[in-house]
Amino acid sequence: MWAEIGAKVMSNDAVVIIGAGQGGFQLAASLRSGGHTGPIDLVGAEFHLPYQRPPLSKEYLAGSMLADGLQLRGSTFFAEKRIRLHRADPVVAVDRRRSSVRMESGATLRYDHLVFATGARPRNLPVPGMNQRGVLSLRDIGDADKLAGLLGVPRRMVIVGGGFIGLELAAVARAGGHSVTVVEALDRTLARAVSPELSSHLETVHAERGTQLLLGRSVSALHGRSGRVAEVELDGGVRVPADVVVAGIGIVPNVELAAEAGLTVANGIVVDERLLTPDDRVSAIGDCACFPSSHARDRIVRLESVQNAVDQARFVAARILGSNQPRYDSVPWFWSHQFDVKIQMAGLPALDDRRMVLGDPGTGRFSVLRFDDGLLTCVESVGNPADHMAARKILGSGDTPTLESASQPGFTLKAFAKRGAEACAA
């Protein structure tokens, strides 16, 4: 139920949020700041106060950020905002007929709106020898603490998977003086996420810093001594010595609870353009949700980024508070830091795109523009925040340059974005 009081919308519905991570936290906070007066239960599986994950593979692992710096808010925030935070008490069942959830402790909560913000977990490396000491993945504070403990003395580290987390980890470990090998099954790093031009640039950066990149190679087994990993066996039988092995081969969305509750799941909990499941009292946001994106010609996508979790949370909060916005269409963006290289991406690439490069990768400052059917859909920027911000504006405006116009001498994203802004103002 909601009612308009003056300009402010007041809703006293009971909202239960499953998952107290980036998206769940933001939803609770946005509901309160938007005027929600009803109960908000934020139910988390972890003991920690809600925290941000990006520093786990960057500053926190490197030791330049402490645990306090990870927290999204201190404990007083939740009391002040009357957000009931349930820690280390995961939801184990959802009863949509009774509109209630049951937690591991046996407690039940009734809802008017239920939001899945359950995130994802690391994909297991399906090879023999995974369950030995020294083998881990990186998703939560506990993983990062374990890894930091292992990296307290010089180590030979093998990272399986040349994705963002693997490469960020490689950068921190190399900077800390460890020997690092990255094994990637495809023929380039970040193959599913970025252009060949950006992959190639990052591979050069990592190789120059002393990381060994083994591309087009897969891991077939892990061998150990006395229960501790000692070697990584690759296809063809070659063995790479290792004291620490990190599996960074992607994540699996936490959808089981939703599936058991009779909701549709595919590569995520399936929601529509308003982030609603077919049950109009149940939504899903963040890493666990897949939705039709206007930035991908309505293809169903599942995005793994802070921006996506936060913006989807804000959208759902506004909807619960009575907004009639027809669809979630925030421009997707993402960042990654590897050594001193700052990568920023805006938009989504098409599967079979055309590309052009603005600037010179040799200078460490450039952008890759990616086009779908002649229109700009994605910009990857390295060391160029101005291009990134301009790209976000352009992609959000719907007025995007064509490959032809962007290829004209003197073209810059900044000038194009300014032109669009001036046209709007006129």
Q: Which of 29, 42, 49, 56 binds ligand FAD (CB under 6 A)?
A: 56
Q: Which of 184, 197, 231, 304 binds ligand FAD (CB under 6 A)?
A: 304
User: Do 12 and 33 form a contact (C-beta atoms < 8 A)?
Assistant: no
C-alpha–C-alpha distance, residues 141 and 48, integer Å: 8
Minimum distance, C-beta of residue 355 to ligand FAD, in the bound complex (Å): 22
- 185-193, 209-217, 264-272, 303-311 -> range binding ligand FAD (CB under 6 A): 303-311
Minimum distance, C-beta of residue 375 to ligand FAD, in the bound complex (Å): 24
Three-class SS string for the chain? CEEEECCEEEECCCEEEECCCHHHHHHHHHHHHCCECCCEEEECCCCCCCECCHHHHCHHHHCCCCHHHHECCCHHHHHHCCEEEECCCCEEEEECCCCEEEECCCCEEECCEEEECCCEEECCCCCCCCCCECEECCCCHHHHHHHHHHCCCCCEEEEECCCHHHHHHHHHHHHCCCEEEEEECCCCCCCCCCCHHHHHHHHHHHHHCCCEEEECCCEEEEEEECCEEEEEEEHHHCEEECCEEEECCCEEECCHHHHHCCCCEECEEECCCCCECCCCCEEECHHHEEEECHHHCCCEECCCCHHHHHHHHHHHHHHHCCCCCCCCCCCCEEEEEECCEEEEEEECCCCCCEEEEEEEHHHCEEEEEEEECCEEEEEEEECCHHHHHHHHHHHHHCCCCEHHHHCCCCCCHHHHHHHHHHHHHC
- 49-57, 177-185, 314-322, 361-369 -> range binding ligand FAD (CB under 6 A): 49-57
The two structure tokens encoding residue 384: 């160029």
Using the rule CB under 6 A, is 44 a contact of ligand FAD? Answer: yes
Using the rule CB under 6 A, is 91 a contact of ligand FAD? Answer: yes
Q: Which of 13, 203, 287, 387 binds ligand FAD (CB under 6 A)?
A: 287
- 70-78, 299-307, 342-350, 410-418 -> range binding ligand FAD (CB under 6 A): 299-307
- 217-225, 268-276, 285-293, 391-399 -> range binding ligand FAD (CB under 6 A): 285-293
Q: What is the Cα Rg of the chain in Å? A: 23
Minimum distance, C-beta of residue 162 to ligand FAD, in the bound complex (Å): 15
- 14-22, 226-234, 270-278, 393-401 -> range binding ligand FAD (CB under 6 A): 14-22
Nearer to ligand FAD, 234 or 244 (CB): 244
Beta bridge partners of 138: none
Minimum distance, C-beta of residue 245 to ligand FAD, in the bound complex (Å): 16
C-alpha–C-alpha distance, residues 87 and 423, integer Å: 50
- 45-53, 232-240, 323-331, 383-391 -> range binding ligand FAD (CB under 6 A): 45-53
Q: Which of 39, 150, 193, 335 binds ligand FAD (CB under 6 A)?
A: 335
Minimum distance, C-beta of residue 224 to ligand FAD, in the bound complex (Å): 25
Q: Which of 42, 43, 151, 173 binds ligand FAD (CB under 6 A)?
A: 43
Nearest residue to the partner ligand FAD, using Cβ: 21
Q: Which of 137, 195, 254, 293 binds ligand FAD (CB under 6 A)?
A: 254
Q: Which of 293, 336, 344, 377 binds ligand FAD (CB under 6 A)?
A: 336
Q: Which of 99, 305, 381, 400 binds ligand FAD (CB under 6 A)?
A: 305
- 188-196, 218-226, 238-246, 300-308 -> range binding ligand FAD (CB under 6 A): 300-308
C-alpha–C-alpha distance, residues 300 and 266, integer Å: 10
Q: Which of residues 123-152 bind ligand FAD (CB under 6 A)?
A: 138-139
Nearer to ligand FAD, 172 or 403 (CB): 172
Contacts to ligand FAD by CB under 6 A: 18-24, 43-46, 53-54, 56-57, 90-91, 117-119, 138-139, 165, 254, 257, 286-288, 304-307, 309, 334-336
